[in-house]
């Protein structure tokens, strides 16, 4: 059951991320907007992250057959997804995300070399959680300005992804419980909520025009 | 406090004005665009020059002054701009 849900989640994540990423890329090619470029990177990363984890499960199921996914592959997938979540949050202008002191900058990355892949997975899950919560709050706040109902759906999607990420992380405390399954169901719901408003954007008759890139 | 507008939004405003809100069939004057798009003369001159060179606006002469009309490419660009503005709005962002 958990294996099936994990596969569904990663496939849905891959497809939703890919669809939104392609849409953002078409937008970037048509308008040259840097915001759309950042969204392209964000959703391409999210899509690739889900794809890496899905590949890991497929590899395990058909080749390795050890019963559990290779931890390193899962961690790489989560790191790539976190980069995507970072670009969503970055689009909302995170201005003081990195420490300003050079000392903290230099030692900030040090812990990453001192921990195992399991601990790395925890670290990146928690970073993803923070970025998703930030993105959800900013998106919800933007609703006050533009009254766009799609923003509510995206905010709910990001919130569900954040909550799913939190439960996924917390399930390590209770490994045999239903928490991880719930977290996957919640994340699938979040991805669907993300896609609903984007799917309503009319993209007919929009074509590429290289000359427009120069604006 | 006034709303911050990105360069893209200003271009969108100029193109929308030349498409939907023209004074007459000859096109819009620079003064009219300055008022409608709420932008300084020096800034709009640069933007108009770029838009004309990219083929999004057509420049004509009428009654001794330059007039600007939206081109077919400009209409397509504006359509794309409007679609992707909605797309970015969903994420709480401005393009």
| Angle formed at CA A163 by CA A159 and CA A164, multiple of 5 degrees | 115
B39 touches chain A (CB under 8 A): no
Domain count, chain B: 1
Which chain B positions have a beta carbon within 8 Å of A146's beta carbon? Answer: 89, 92
In angstroms, the CA B6 to CA B8 distance is 5
Helix (H, G, I), strand (E, B) or coil at B72: helix
Q: DSSP character for B60?
A: E
In angstroms, the CA B77 to CA B73 distance is 6
Q: Is the pLDDT of residue A98 over 60?
A: no
Query: B66 forms bridges with which residues in the sheet?
Result: B61
Per-residue model confidence as pLDDT tens digits over A176-209: 778 888 988 999 999 999 999 988 876 654 554 4
In a domain, B36, yes or no: yes
B76/A139 Cβ within 8 A? no
Query: Which of A16, A22, A27 lies closest to A50, judged by CA?
Result: A16
Taking residues B68-88, what's their average pLDDT? 89
In angstroms, the CA A50 to CA A181 distance is 16
B76/A209 Cβ within 8 A? yes
In a domain, B21, yes or no: yes
Range of the structural domain that residue B59 is part of: 7-88
Helix (H, G, I), strand (E, B) or coil at B67: strand
Residue-range domain boundaries for chain A: 2-93+117-204
Nearest CA in chain B to A27: B84
End-to-end CA gap in chain A: 51
In a domain, B1, yes or no: no
Is residue B2 very low, low, confident or very high in pLDDT (cuts 50, 70, 90)?
Answer: low
CATH code assigned at B38: 1.10.10.10
Strands (E), chain A: none
In a domain, B46, yes or no: yes
Per-residue model confidence as pLDDT tens digits over A35-83: 899 999 999 999 999 999 999 988 888 887 777 777 788 889 999 999 9
């Amino acid at each position: 059951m958990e294996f099936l849900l994990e596969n569904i989640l990663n496939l849905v994540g891959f497809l939703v991320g890919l669809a939104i990423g392609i849409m953002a890329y078409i937008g970037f090619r048509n308008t040259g907007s840097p915001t759309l470029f950042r969204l392209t990177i964000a959703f391409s990363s999210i899509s690739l992250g889900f794809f890496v984890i899905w590949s890991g499960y497929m590899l395990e199921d058909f080749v390795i057959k050890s019963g559990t996914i290779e931890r390193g592959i899962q961690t790489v997938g989560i790191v790539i997804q976190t980069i995507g979540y970072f670009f969503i949050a970055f689009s909302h202008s995170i201005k003081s995300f990195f420490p300003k002191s050079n000392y903290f900058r230099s030692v900030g990355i040090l812990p990453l070399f001192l921990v195992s892949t399991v601990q790395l997975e925890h670290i990146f899950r928690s970073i993803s959680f923070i970025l998703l919560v930030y993105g959800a709050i900013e998106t919800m706040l933007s609703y006050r300005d533009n009254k766009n109902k799609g923003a509510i759906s995206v905010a709910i999607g990001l919130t569900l992804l954040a909550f799913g990420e939190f439960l996924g992380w917390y399930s390590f405390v209770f490994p045999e419980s239903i928490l991880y399954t719930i977290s996957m169901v919640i994340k699938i719901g979040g991805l669907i909520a993300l896609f609903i408003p984007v799917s309503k954007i009319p993209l007919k008759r929009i074509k590429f025009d290289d000359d427009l890139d120069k604006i | 406090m006034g709303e911050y507008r990105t360069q893209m939004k200003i271009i969108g405003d100029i193109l929308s004005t030349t498409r939907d809100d023209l004074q007459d069939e000859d096109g819009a004057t620079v003064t009219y665009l300055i008022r409608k798009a709420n932008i300084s003369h020096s800034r709009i001159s640069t933007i108009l020059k770029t838009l004309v060179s990219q083929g999004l606006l057509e420049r004509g002469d009428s009654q001794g002054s330059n007039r600007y009309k939206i081109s077919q490419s400009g209409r397509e660009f504006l359509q794309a701009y409007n679609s992707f503005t909605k797309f970015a709005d969903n994420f709480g962002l401005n393009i």
